Homo-oligomer: A and B are copies of this chain.
Amino acid sequence: MARSATTSDVFNAIAEAQRRQIIDLLSHGERSVNDVAAALGIRQPQASKHLRVLKEVDLVSVRGSGQQRLYRLNGEGLKPIHDWTMTFEHFWEESFDRLDEYLKQIQSKEKKND
């Protein structure tokens, strides 16, 4: 069996570095295909192909504007990945418990001050 399709889920779609670059770019606002290609220094057909993959996993949406097609990031599509990694936050966030403690403390102080 070969590797899963890049369009099989978000995890596979973002495995490609250039697609992550596109996502980063689109986080600043919608962009045309040529803008994407220029920003990444790749050719237009490759940009179209990457955008197609991102569209198939619903990480971007498109709208026509004249001859152009403006792609917009659907950041919410990245939530599953964020959620999954959150499970392992305690591996590097050693102050997690202490911050939680701190928040509870100052919140109780707030109550007294109100």
Contacts and interface: CB of A to CB of B under 8 A. Distances in A.
Contact of A106 (B12, B27, B110): B110
Interface in A1-54: 3-4, 6, 9, 11-12, 14-17, 20, 23-24, 27
Nearest to A14: B11
* Main SS at interface, chain A: helix
Interface residues of A, number: 36
A25 to B, nearest CB: 12
Given A15-B4, A17-B4, A79 B106 contact: no
Interface in A70-113: 73-76, 78-79, 81-82, 84-92, 106-107, 109-110, 113
